[in-house]
Amino acid sequence: MDWYSTVRFPSESADYRAARDKLLAAERDLRQHVEQVAELRRKLPLGGELPEDYAFEEGAADLANKTTVVPVKLSALFREGLDTLALYNFMYGPAMKQACPMCTSFLDSLNGAAPHAAQRLNLAVVAKSPIGRIREFARGRAWHNLRLLSSAGNSYNRDYHGETADGGQMPVLSLFVRRDDRIYHSYSTELAFAPPEPGQNQRHIDMMWPLWNLLDLTPEGRGADWYPRLTY
């Protein structure tokens, strides 16, 4: 084999090393392909201009504050010097008895990453429920690092495919960019809307979700029928 590791672990067999070197080459190829896909994403032309400056509702920065509610427009989510905005559609509509467990698991992880991400981009989470209901749920999850918005009073979810025609909620991460004081759609995780391959689900945000990447390292894998729950 022309590409291999010089690392050896205690008591490993020759069969293990041969199989591991084959896997290592596949991991290298995957890394290269991931970068190729990321480059294609970066080279996308500008998407459509924002049809309106959506007005959301937001609470205070302190999640413990249960009374403050302020309007905030999408354009105001951009900070000085940071011209990219990522908005995640959290599946928690007003008709839902509980929040989506899968979205919740993802946002548990994103909450930890948010202070780091904030050095490079603007980040917020949008849900269709009233802002008080969103923040009540967020307090129970200790989402102190996530900027939470309610889209109850606008058509953002519907326009950017976070909501179906019958009011069903959809998970989607969308990115917007600011160019010369105008805002354009840049990218959305459209694998959520494409037909999944057998056993693949949509996997539209897997690269950003540590849970699945960790489980993929194990001999047991993800498990065909296992999904996160709100409580254990």
- The pLDDT of residue 197 is 83
Can you give the pTM of this predicted structure?
0.93
What Å distances lie between residue 103 and 11, 37, 49, 126, 225, CA to CA?
A: 42, 24, 27, 12, 17
In the predicted structure, residue 27 carries a pLDDT above the cut 80: yes
Cα–Cα nearest to 92, from 57, 139, 135: 135
**DSSP code per residue over 2-32:** -S------TT--HHHHHHHHHHHHHHHHHHH
Tens of pLDDT, residue by residue over 89-137, are 999 999 999 999 999 999 999 999 999 999 999 999 999 999 999 999 9
The DSSP element (H or E) to which 174 belongs, if any, is strand 172-179
CA 90 to chain centre: 9
Tens of pLDDT, residue by residue over 55-99, are 999 999 999 999 999 999 999 999 999 999 999 999 999 999 999
Average pLDDT over residues 202-208: 88
Architecture of domain 55-190: 3-Layer(aba) Sandwich (3.40)
Q: d(Cα 163, Cα 74) in Å, to the nearest integer? A: 18
